[in-house]
Structure 1
Amino acid sequence: MLCFLCLEIVCLCNSDGSICRELERKALVDFKQGLKDPGGRLSSWIGLDCCSWTGVRCDNHTGHIVSIDLHNFDFDVFNGQWLGGEIQPSLLGLNHLRYLDLSGNNFEHNRIPVFLGSLVSLQYLNLSYVGFSGHVPHQLGNLSRLRYLDLSGNSLHLIGSQWLTNLSSLQFLNMDGVNHSKATDVLKLLNTLPLISEIHLHGCELHIPLSLGAHINFTNLRFLDLAHNFINSTVPLWLFQLNSLEYLDLSYNNFQDLIPHAVGKLTSLRVLNIKCNGDLQYNKVLSIRLPPTLGELCNLSILTLSGNNYIPSDLNGLGEIFSGCIKNSLEELYWYAANLTGQLPIWLANLKSLKTLDLSVNSFYGSFIQVQLPSMQELSLGGNQLNGTIPKYLGQLFPKLVKLDLSYNNLAGILIEAHFDNLTKLEFLYINSNAFELILRPEWVPPLELKYLIMSYCKVGPNFPSWLQKLKNISHLSMSNTSIIDALPVWFWNFSSNFKFVDLSHNEISGKLLAGSSKLTNLEILVLCHNYLEVQLTQFSSNLVVLDQAHGLFSRSTFSNTSIIVPHLSELYIASNKIIGSIPSSLCELNHLQVLDLSKNMIEGVVPDCWNHSLAIMDLSYNNLHGRIPASIFSTFLLVLHLSNNEFFGQLPLSFKNCTSLRSLDLEHNKISGSIPSWLGENLQALETLELRYNMLTGTIPPQLGNLTYLHVIDVSNNHLSGAIPHSFDNLTAMKTNLDRGWSRIDSYVNNIEMNMKGREFQLEGGIPSLFICMDLSNNMLSGEMPEELGHLSLLQSLNLSRNHLSGQLSEKIAELRWLEVLDLSMNNLSGVIPPTMTNLASLNHLNLSYNNFYGEIPYGGQLQVLPDPSIYYGNQGLCGFPLDKKCEITAPAQPPSLPNIEDDDNLETIWFYLSMSLGFIFGFWAISGALILKKSWRYAYFRFVDHIYDKIYVIVAVNLKK
């Protein structure tokens, strides 16, 4: 007691009247000076009593600082509460610090400070999600007292891992996302730590050894997460010797023999997660088998097998497994998206403790499940092929049901009040995309706890369901395509203040939205399109994020002197209405606006030049807008720009260069002039569709357009372009190889691309048409030969080069366009024979070669045989054969009729020349030889003459050589 009293006196003397130590307070002040604090979280760090500062805790007896907890709640760096800057080494003055948590802040691009390894008293260190990069310093191995280490959510990599063996007190380790590709022995080293009980190595490019050596030391290990490492090997058997293991996650790997017979040894296992096992790089999902020993896991409560194909796909054979002791413990079974088929298995009735069952997105067929599961809370069977009706006694089968998902099946029948009896706890109901018809009395009382009611594509109308107003807790309502032909009731916007999502689209709902709708302060998404509602934008919730009133009846005065008070709006769709007036500059004040779709209205005037740089999609097509395209539209965030069918003029502005993320550009049917700039192909390399037709463009097509490797659609037709077609089009990779990148984060926007094919206009609806490959350069003044490189664009489906001045012959490589459906080369100066290889164009269904200079016989066979229209070949006087009436002469050489046969005359003279020489040689040779053969005396005289001449020549040569 005396010693303790002396210690208290010493502490009070050292503290100068304050609880904390002065040296440690100064260390914290220096630490604060190195930090950025935009939210003022450290505003309390003033005065002498540092133990009362936010996030600081001192020892009650000694006054030493033992804990600093400055974690950012929810790990959200956008909530304004983050800290940044640098971590100062002044922390080394806190010799007694045992707890340090800086998680969720933003020390971007900084490295883990090496000096943290000198805080030898640390027992807890959390540096997760703080933006650190670089390698993990080995000095952390000095923290021999450390029990908890979390480095997850950073851009770190591990080079050398031997230091892990020094963390002898470590119980918890989280290195999710830390790259382990250069540290292949991590698990072997962790095996030496006697107290380790929880290991997180999710997404680490981890190497898992098949053996840990002679001794497995993971006797206290209860949690092991090895998911997302894409390991390609068999499952190491040492995993199934961890008798204390309660949680095992092997998801997103490429294991063979995923669940071996030895799984029965994991008697303590409570959670087994092996979702999506397979080589996802090649979209290959592996198949699994379930051993009988799985049923012996008497403590298993959560089993996740989703994304894995089961052999056989029919689950009825698993009755033996799920009749073991697992039937008493299993509470959650997830097996969705696994290509399972057959009828719903009857052994589900054994699982009396089952609370969650998810078999969605498979191929189950037959009737709805008819077994009683008294503990069931969440039942998900959506995305299958179930048919028939559902039983009226659902509440007796599942009395505790909270969530029921039957969406996207083939279920039918009439739903009446009895179907929902006793479902008093139901909060989530998804019955959309079936053939249900709801016949419910207006005074019916629905399950009052409902929060999500999704019943699109069911028959609810013709009357608007009045029983909805009893659902005071509802937040998400979807009644799209429900055959409602009625006026929107006045009470609709007042009965629930919890509304976040409302979709009433594709009905025949009429009426006006009254000012009372402004009471919906939580409303974020409102979809009213394809109705007859009259709306004013000023009436909506200030928290609205998405407004879709396309194909409706917005008031004609909507855009005349209107202030739009929806500051959080991110998506605004009011296409195909009857809006007149000009675009108000107040739209530019919506700082969160990402999608603006005002297409197909009667808006006029100029577009205000005041847009913020968060805009990702702008669609102002089919209006009466004019003027130059405002420069403030263009930014690195812009993905889609559709300004077609207006009267914009001027050249393409230089500010377009900023649109490095732009994927769809549609400026057709305007008055854009000047040339196509070369920088369009250099800066806009994300471009997938380029629509510039029906403008006033001049000059040549720049070869830099060949840099657009993702380009699927290029249409510059009906301009005044000249010059040759660039050979660089051979580099349009997406026209040769499928480079589909999917669509953007804005899924609700429908990207409509208008095309001209087969002489008529049509629209491609949906996202970027990655499966449609088109090139249209028609109705310009292009000249030169048709590049044979176009034949390399093997995925091309439509090629239109008509109404130009192209010359030369058609290359046989055009036959390589095996997916070509439309080919129009009409009204050019092309010549030569039609390549016989064109019969190999198996997909061709529209062809036009008219008004050129082709000659010879039209190839017969293949796909050309089923195109009998003779107008395809009109205007080519030298063509003959099917389907023309002109027959081909069998012996006549193929020749163009309009050219003189000079080449044939030259050939005839050559033949007579060689014939004369041959006849002369024959007569001369046989005149002499014949005489010698027939008269003996002439033979002797001839050979004597030859001998005499030979002797004479020999003597002359010999005498001359002698001299």
Structure 2
Amino acid sequence: MRSLENIDWTSNNIEGGIPKKSMGNLCNLKSLNLSYNSLNGTIIDLLESLVGCARKSLEILNLQDNKLGDSLFDLSRFSSLKELYLANNELNGSIMENIGQLSNLEILDVSSNYITGMVSKLNGTMPDLLQFSSLKELYLANNKLNGSLMESIGPLSNLEVLDVSSNYITGVVSKTQLQKLSKLKKLDLSLNSLIIDIESKWVPPFQLFVLKLGSCRLGPSFPSWLQTQSKLFRLDISNSGISDYIPDWFYNLTPKLRYLNLSFNSIKGTLPNFPLRFDNYPIIDLSCNQFHGSIPISLANATALNLSNNTFTIFQPFLCTDLSDRPTTFLDLSNNMLSESLPDCWMHWSELIVLNLENNKLSGNIPSSMGSLYHISTLRLSNNNISGILPSSLKKCSLLRLLDVGQNNLYGEIPTWIGDYLTDLVVLHLKSNRFYGSLPLNLCQLSDIQILDLSLNDLSGFIPRCFHNFTRMVHKVNDYVSSSLSTGIDSLYIIDPSRGYGRIFVNYEYITWKGKNYKYDRNLWLLRIIDLSSNKLTGEIPINLTNLVVLVQLNLSRNNLSGTIPESIGKMEPLESLDLSHNQLSGKIPMGLADLSFLGFLDLSNNQLWGRIPTGTQLQTFEASVYSENRGLCGPPLIATCCGDGKLQETSTPCETTVGKLQEDNAEWVDMSWFYMGIGVGFGIGFLGVCGLALFFNTSWRRLYFKQLLNRWRTSNYGAN
């Protein structure tokens, strides 16, 4: 096919490399697109297939999103290249100087690799960018580049896109270095250690569409030169040290914005009307500032709105003003000072997928109109003063996957409709409320549940034996896609990625882990947790619970559980945290517990356990306190030794070979008063004289005598058997 000009094998499952000489005679080949495949090996090996005249004709080479490794290569023989895309591979090393011989290059994208070295032309590891006189787009983002950059970039007068975000670039960016970039449309310097030193009266020679300076030093004043940028539709100046008020001129920019991020600054004051165009579907992030007062009604036109970690106090007009066709899918008002009752106007927010109102001072009942959130996937209301019962209207929210209403004043029995209608739930948090009654068997229908926290309530009755129906806790899932994206609690919540600039929000959950509270986000999908602690549960630990072989944390502490620890607990190999303390558990510690090699936290204290602590790689490494208040336990790490160890018993703890044996046979503790009475009678009447003295001083005779007494006592109380 000598006349072939374009080859596009994008987004397939092509592996390995291209056979050598397979395309070498395609003398008219101009574009080769192999992006989004699984090509591996080195780029040098792959390009050996392009021997011959194809090298001279090729203008566009796209190998992004593969698994190509090794350092960058000699491209001098591809002199006709105009566009080179190598993003999202595994390239390493520094950018070789001979890439600078591609004098016709207009687009260079090597972002998201492992490229290192200085980006300054002064030390020679970066090609002299002056040779790229035709360069229009340069993407170096998400590598390991360091040093200074702007000295090399400044003279590129044709540059339209510059993206060097997420590197280790340092230095100062001044107006002098940007003055010649009159064609610049996108500038992304974010997530570096740059200082933007530009006077407020400067008028840039360019009109930007995209400006991202997140984590650069801009403040403390609001950058006034931004008011000249009338075409901006994406602006990110987050975490830039601004501690100023928003100037009036800034609101002239907002109607055109599709993305605005001012988060992690110290911007002050109230927000007046914040004009937004409905048809732009803007994404607005004003979190982690010092805004206060009322939330502007106009912000309801945002498709995603994050106002968390401020001091807003009024939100009812914002929520309840009747605006038709609200587009909002993400709303985060958490960590503010909202103290109103939850308004009953959620029918206006039917497009919501994520709603976060946690850590406020909200009161009143959960309104029935929340049942109108038909698309809701994540609902967070924790740590407020919300009271009443869970309204049955929530059963209409059948797409819910994360429900957190913990740390409120909710009461009543746990509704059975949770298991009947919210069958997609992955996280259920009812912690620290006043729920009472037994655990409904309907909960066993939550086959996708991964985190179940019902702790710190007044729940009673038995632990259901059907918890082994929690499929996600029974079967190991190795595929990230199937385990996280399909469950909906993965850390990345993407707002409309189809438009090409979706903001990624992090989903998270607060977990009491190994006795401490932690915030889990990017590892949330890995957790499998059951916490039923601090209730009034009774009965035995169901043996079926040990079928949850993917569980990593089990907390049943501070209940009234009895019986023994299931012998089959050794099957739960990934278990990292186990708390059974403050119950009435008896019997021996099962040997299988010593086989749990990942166990990092254990608490069996305040029970009625007895016998030798099993010897293994784990159980002796814990402090003695995890076994405390179990008067029948002995062996390391406790001071109390077990009978048969050849040492004197150092405490009054009963021996495993005497009292423990009796408890095992008769399922109760033996009253030892007969023992001391036998001593008095034996010495006072039956053994006067030499025989009595011999019995007193001869240890073996004395043991034989007490053994006979013991047998008689057992026969008289329990029969010959």
- TM-score (ref. length: structure 1): 0.61
Supply the distance in 2 between the matched residues of 1:471 and 1:604 (Cα, whole angstroms): 39
Supply the distance in 2 between the matched residues of 1:681 and 1:355 (Cα, whole angstroms): 58
Supply the distance in 2 between the matched residues of 1:334 and 1:380 (Cα, whole angstroms): 9
Aligned residue for 1:597? 332
- Check whether the contact 2:290–2:311 (CA below 8 A) recurs between aligned residues: yes
Supply the distance in 1 between the matched residues of 2:300 and 2:404 (Cα, whole angstroms): 32
- Check whether the contact 1:688–1:768 (CA below 8 A) recurs between aligned residues: no
Supply the distance in 2 between the matched residues of 1:385 and 1:267 (Cα, whole angstroms): 37
User: What is the alpha-carbon root mean square deviation over aligned residues?
Assistant: 3.2
Instruction: Identify which of 83, 108, 116 aligns with 1:332.
Output: 83
Aligned residue for 1:790? 545
User: CA deviation digits over 1:34-88, x for unaligned, max 9?
Assistant: xxxxxxxxxxxxxxxxxxxxxxxxxxxxxxxxxxxxxxxxxxxxxxxxxxxxxxx
User: CA deviation digits over 1:628-648, x for unaligned, max 9?
Assistant: 541443554111122223454
Instruction: Identify which of 665, 669, 679 aligns with 1:899.
Output: 669
Query: Cα–Cα, structure 1 residues 299 and 469, in superposed 2: closer, same or farther, change >3 Å?
Result: same
- Check whether the contact 1:855–1:879 (CA below 8 A) recurs between aligned residues: yes
Supply the distance in 2 between the matched residues of 1:837 and 1:511 (Cα, whole angstroms): 60
Query: Cα–Cα, structure 1 residues 751 and 402, in superposed 2: closer, same or farther, change >3 Å?
Result: same
Q: Percent identity?
A: 33
Q: Which amino acid aligns with 2:670?
A: P
| Correspondences of 1:609-628 after superposition (within 5 Å) | 609-612=345-348, 613-621=350-358, 622-628=360-366
- Check whether the contact 2:363–2:387 (CA below 8 A) recurs between aligned residues: no
- Check whether the contact 2:553–2:575 (CA below 8 A) recurs between aligned residues: yes
Aligned residue for 1:109? none
Aligned residue for 1:876? 630
Supply the distance in 2 between the matched residues of 1:721 and 1:514 (Cα, whole angstroms): 47
Query: Cα–Cα, structure 1 residues 307 and 618, in superposed 2: closer, same or farther, change >3 Å?
Result: closer
Q: Which amino acid aligns with 2:510?
A: E
| Correspondences of 1:766-781 after superposition (within 5 Å) | 766=521, 769-781=524-536
Supply the distance in 2 between the matched residues of 1:447 and 1:824 (Cα, whole angstroms): 65
Aligned residue for 2:719? none
Supply the distance in 2 between the matched residues of 1:588 and 1:829 (Cα, whole angstroms): 58
Instruction: Identify which of 566, 569, 581 aligns with 1:814.
Output: 569
Supply the distance in 2 between the matched residues of 1:539 and 1:650 (Cα, whole angstroms): 29
Q: Which amino acid aligns with 2:603?
A: N
Larger radius of gyration: 1
Aligned residue for 2:145? 386
Instruction: Identify which of 332, 340, 343 aligns with 1:607.
Output: 343
Residues 1:586 and 2:330 aligned together: no
SS at match of 2:331: strand
- Report the CA distance between 1:649 and its aligned residue: 4.5
Supply the distance in 2 between the matched residues of 1:267 and 1:828 (Cα, whole angstroms): 80
- Check whether the contact 1:773–1:795 (CA below 8 A) recurs between aligned residues: yes
Query: Cα–Cα, structure 1 residues 698 and 464, in superposed 2: closer, same or farther, change >3 Å?
Result: closer
Query: Cα–Cα, structure 1 residues 803 and 533, in superposed 2: closer, same or farther, change >3 Å?
Result: closer
| Correspondences of 1:53-452 after superposition (within 5 Å) | 242-251=1-10, 252-278=12-38, 289-292=45-48, 294=50, 296-297=53-54, 298-310=56-68, 313-316=70-73, 319=74, 322-324=75-77, 326-328=78-80, 330-368=81-119, 369-371=126-128, 372-396=131-155, 398-452=156-210
Instruction: Identify which of 610, 618, 633 aligns with 2:371.
Output: 633
- Check whether the contact 2:281–2:327 (CA below 8 A) recurs between aligned residues: no
Instruction: Identify which of 603, 613, 616 aligns with 1:848.
Output: 603
Residues 1:830 and 2:585 aligned together: yes
User: CA deviation digits over 1:378-397, x for unaligned, max 9?
Assistant: 1111011111111414232x
- Report the CA distance between 1:850 and its aligned residue: 1.4
SS at match of 1:550: coil
| Correspondences of 1:690-705 after superposition (within 5 Å) | 690-705=428-443
Query: Cα–Cα, structure 1 residues 697 and 864, in superposed 2: closer, same or farther, change >3 Å?
Result: same
- Check whether the contact 2:553–2:578 (CA below 8 A) recurs between aligned residues: yes
| Correspondences of 1:428-577 after superposition (within 5 Å) | 428-494=186-252, 498-514=256-272, 518=275, 524-534=282-292, 536-538=294-296, 540=298, 544-554=302-312, 556=313, 558-559=314-315, 562=317, 564=318
SS at match of 2:537: strand
5+ residue gaps, structure 1, are: 1-241, 279-283, 565-583, 913-963
- Report the CA distance between 1:900 and its aligned residue: 3.0
- Report the CA distance between 1:428 and its aligned residue: 0.5
Query: Cα–Cα, structure 1 residues 683 and 718, in superposed 2: closer, same or farther, change >3 Å?
Result: same
- Check whether the contact 2:103–2:133 (CA below 8 A) recurs between aligned residues: yes
- Report the CA distance between 1:860 and its aligned residue: 4.0
Q: Which amino acid aligns with 1:890?
A: G
Instruction: Identify which of 883, 888, 896 aligns with 2:642.
Output: 888
Aligned residue for 1:74? none
- Report the CA distance between 1:534 and its aligned residue: 4.4
Supply the distance in 2 between the matched residues of 1:708 and 1:542 (Cα, whole angstroms): 34
- Check whether the contact 1:834–1:854 (CA below 8 A) recurs between aligned residues: yes
Supply the distance in 1 between the matched residues of 2:253 and 2:385 (Cα, whole angstroms): 46
- Report the CA distance between 1:807 and its aligned residue: 2.1
Q: Which amino acid aligns with 1:350?
A: Q
User: CA deviation digits over 1:590-622, x for unaligned, max 9?
Assistant: 632323333343322353155143222233333
Aligned residue for 2:679? none
Supply the distance in 2 between the matched residues of 1:287 and 1:683 (Cα, whole angstroms): 52
SS at match of 1:627: coil
User: CA deviation digits over 1:463-493, x for unaligned, max 9?
Assistant: 3322222323323221111112333333333
- Check whether the contact 1:334–1:359 (CA below 8 A) recurs between aligned residues: yes
Supply the distance in 2 between the matched residues of 1:800 and 1:535 (Cα, whole angstroms): 42
- Check whether the contact 2:610–2:656 (CA below 8 A) recurs between aligned residues: no
Supply the distance in 1 between the matched residues of 2:252 and 2:300 (Cα, whole angstroms): 16
Supply the distance in 1 between the matched residues of 2:107 and 2:114 (Cα, whole angstroms): 19
- Check whether the contact 2:511–2:520 (CA below 8 A) recurs between aligned residues: no
Supply the distance in 2 between the matched residues of 1:721 and 1:783 (Cα, whole angstroms): 10
- TM-score (ref. length: structure 2): 0.80
- Check whether the contact 2:375–2:397 (CA below 8 A) recurs between aligned residues: yes
- Report the CA distance between 1:352 and its aligned residue: 1.4
- Check whether the contact 2:584–2:607 (CA below 8 A) recurs between aligned residues: yes
SS at match of 1:829: coil
- Report the CA distance between 1:842 and its aligned residue: 3.0
Aligned residue for 1:645? 383
Q: Which amino acid aligns with 2:127?
A: Q
Query: Cα–Cα, structure 1 residues 655 and 487, in superposed 2: closer, same or farther, change >3 Å?
Result: closer
SS at match of 1:591: coil
Query: Cα–Cα, structure 1 residues 772 and 726, in superposed 2: closer, same or farther, change >3 Å?
Result: same
- Report the CA distance between 1:803 and its aligned residue: 1.9
- Check whether the contact 1:607–1:625 (CA below 8 A) recurs between aligned residues: no
5+ residue gaps, structure 2, are: 120-125, 478-482, 496-502, 646-654, 673-706, 716-721
- Check whether the contact 2:536–2:559 (CA below 8 A) recurs between aligned residues: yes
Query: Cα–Cα, structure 1 residues 492 and 653, in superposed 2: closer, same or farther, change >3 Å?
Result: closer
Supply the distance in 2 between the matched residues of 1:644 and 1:419 (Cα, whole angstroms): 50
> Which one scores higher on RCO, CA 8 angstroms, separation ≥ 6?
2
- Report the CA distance between 1:294 and its aligned residue: 1.8
Query: Cα–Cα, structure 1 residues 519 and 652, in superposed 2: closer, same or farther, change >3 Å?
Result: closer
Supply the distance in 1 between the matched residues of 2:179 and 2:215 (Cα, whole angstroms): 23
SS at match of 1:474: coil
